[in-house]
Each structure stands twice: as C-alpha cells, then as structure tokens.
Amino acid sequence: MKNNITLGLEEEVFVVEPTLPTTRSLYYLSKLLWKNPRRNMKLTASNFARGKDLQYGLMSGIEVATDVCHSTLHLLSELQGLRGQVSKVCEGRIAPIGHLLQIDAPSNVCALQIHIGGLSDIVKTYDNIAYFLPLLILLGSHSPMRNGERFGQSYRLECGYATGNLTGDRHKRFQDLIITRRLGTIEVRAFDPMPCTARYEYLVNALVAIANLDTHKPLDIHRYARLRNHAIKHGLSDELRELHSELSEIVSVPLELFEFTESDRTAQLYNEFGLEGTYKRMDEIYRCGTYSPPNRSSFTKKVLQPTIGFVGYYAVKFPYITYKWLKERDK
C-alpha cells in the first residue's frame, strides 16, 4: 500500500429477541467487556433509540470495532474473530442490517463504518472517496424496508439520524463521510452491516485503491447529493454505471454486486420466509458455524440480566462515553 495506510472497522448489529432488541443486549456487552476489559472498554459500544422510536423499546444495536490493521486480510480476519466472540455471548438472534424490516425508526439504526488512516494528503483522499461513494453505497446497502414494505436500497441513509449528504465541511460529524476529530482518520459512514463479509472485502479494497490514487477528484456536493439520492432509492443508474467503469480502471469489483444488492437479497428472503425466518437466516450466516447458540429462553425468565448489563457495562463505560462525545462533537 502507498501512504502506509491503516484500516479500522466498526460493525453495529441488532440482537433481536425474537424480532426487536431488548436491554438484555447490555448484559451481552457486559460479558464481552469483562472478557477483555482493557480492549473492549474502548472498542465496544451500546446504542439506544430516541424520541418517538422508543415505542419499539429502548435498545438499539451493539457495536464492536477492530484494532488498527494494515491490510484488508488483517482487518477481515480480526472482524471474524470479533464475530465469534459476539456469537458466544449473545443468546438472541444477531441481525446485521441497517434498519429493522418491520418498523419505522430513524434513530434505531445500525451502521458499518470503515476508517482509513496513515494518509499523506487526507483532503485529497476524502475528496476522491466522495467522488466514488454514491456508487459504493450500493455495494454496502442493506436496509431495504420500512414497516414491512420495500423502501429501496437503504432506508437508513434516507432517514437515519447519523448520516446525510456532504456539507463541504469535512469534519462535520453526522454526514456520510467525515475526517474524524478524535482519531484523525477518514471515516466512511455510508455502509450498512451485512450477514456475510464477502462484500466487505470488495468495499475495503475499493477504498484502499481510491486512497492510493495520484489524481485529485473535485469535491462536488451537489453531484454527490443527486447520485446518492438515486442510489439509495432506486439503485443503479446510467451515470452510476459510468462511475463503475471509472472505478474498474483502478480496482476490480463485479458490476453484478451493484445490480443485485444485499438489500435486494434480504427483500427476497423476507417475501419467502417472513420476518422471523429472515432474521434467523441472518443470524446463521453471521455466526458462520463458529458457535451454536443455546436454546433461547424467554426474556421474562431473565429479568435481572438488563440490570446486570446496565451496571456491568453502561455505568462502567459512561466516563469513556462522555470523553468520546466531547472529543467528537461539532464545535
């Protein structure tokens, strides 16, 4: 790699019991934290619903992050190890998806976030990624539904609270692509989590290839907004096909991955197997045979677990959560 590029990945997933998250997720996180406190204090996180979305419950997704990695292979190998750890502590079904299929909750979303560091010209790399990002959104889209009806490719990007069109301020926090204040990396926030990591490999390889470009593409936020809007609602367009041809000059990513997205696949599964059947298949792919979950018991039979999770995870992490918020917030 040029520039001594470093990579990091944050993956958020829902743990549904049976079709919505519960605060037992905090208990699972507490078990994960205390297996390796030094590491997991910083590299795990809990998320919560807000406002009107609380009608579906307090809990949103849980997050694990890799350490700093120096190749795509290293990054994905570490992620697989983290998935194995999450699989061992979670009794609920693990659903790697941007927004749950059966609800409408813009604050209750999960993301796949990729960090790129070690860059000699971070502004040039930011602008080059922004140039190709409307296309890459389709490679990483997995949020096809709202209230059980097909939305398009990524309802999370359309309505989610933590992403949005580029503003021209590269450090502004809640947009699809940022330069992070705390880490000094480029963070790509426009991808949804997916059960299988095969697409992740293509995404990371594409980002690395773009980061190694010698040319400097212009940052055009109006072009970005137009292409993004079409991608998340309608999928591939003629202009995005042309952008794929341009991308193919620097990295190989099959066109069919943009023509038939992970959102398209999950929408088909939903039509065939229904809600619980779709979440069951996501869980099976995520776990990938590394660990068979125990027989799931009723949430009501384990009423102390949310309290244990709150005390053993959230309360312990609160000082670090506050520190991160102060470092990352917009000035």
- Over residues 225-257, the pLDDT tens digits come to 999 999 999 999 999 999 999 999 999 999 999
Transcribe 152-206 into DSSP letters: -SBHHHHH-TT-----S-TT-SSSSEEE-TTT-SEEEEEE---SSSHHHHHHHHH
Provide the pLDDT for residue 299: 45
> Does 297 have pLDDT greater than 80?
no
* Residue 118: pLDDT over 70: yes
How confident is residue 2, by pLDDT bands cut at 50, 70 and 90? low
Mean pLDDT along residues 201-223: 97
Alpha carbon 280 to chain centroid, angstroms: 19
The set of residues, in sequence order, having a beta carbon less than 8 Å from that of 145 and lying 6+ positions away, is 99, 101, 102, 151, 155, 266, 267, 270
Is the pLDDT confidence value at 74 over 90?
A: yes
Give 330's pLDDT tier (boundaries 50, 70, 90). low
The token duo for 107 is 């604050």
Q: Residue 327: what pLDDT? A: 66
Q: Quickly state the pLDDT bin for 311 (edges 50, 70, 90).
A: confident
Q: Which of 1-5, 29-33, 52-56 has the lowest mean pLDDT?
A: 1-5
Of residues 310 and 274, more confidently modeled: 274
**DSSP H helical segments within 61-183, as ranges?**
72-89, 122-139, 155-159
With contact defined as beta carbons under 8 Å apart, do 183 and 115 qualify? Answer: yes
| CA pair distance 315, 313, nearest whole angstrom | 6
- The closest of 66, 27, 73 to 43, measured between CA atoms, is 66
pLDDT beyond 50 at 111: yes
Kindly state the average pLDDT of the residues 66-86: 97
Indicate if the pLDDT at residue 296 is higher than 60: no
Q: What whole-number distance in Å separates Cα of residue 101 and Cα of residue 188?
A: 24
325 pLDDT exceeds 80? no
Residue 295 CB neighbours (<10 A):
5
Q: Which residue intervals of 36-71 are DSSP H helices?
A: 37-43
Task: Provide the pLDDT for residue 307.
Answer: 78
Q: Is residue 320 pLDDT above 70, yes or no? A: no
Q: Which pLDDT band, with edges at 50, 70 and 90, does 201 fall under?
A: very high
Closest CA to 188 of 111, 250, 246, 244: 111
Say what the pLDDT of residue 1 is: 46
CA distance 150 to 153: 9
Dist CA 83 CA 277 (whole Å):
21
- 323 pLDDT above the threshold of 80: no
pLDDT over threshold 90, residue 166: yes
The DSSP bridge partners found for residue 7 are 69, 116
- Decide: residue 329, CB within 10 A, 0-12 exposed, 13-18 middle, 19+ buried: exposed
**pLDDT in the model for residue 313:** 82
Whether residue 98 has pLDDT greater than 50: yes
Looking at the predicted structure, is the pLDDT value of residue 294 above 60?
no
CATH topology of domain 2-328: Creatine Kinase; Chain A, domain 2 (3.30.590)
Average pLDDT, the chain: 92
The model's pLDDT over 150-161, given as tens digits with 9 standing for 90+, comes to 999 999 999 999
Beta bridge pairs of residue 187: 115, 178
Question: How far is CA 210 from each of CA 26, 108, 124, 266, rounded to the nearest angstrom?
Answer: 37, 31, 10, 29
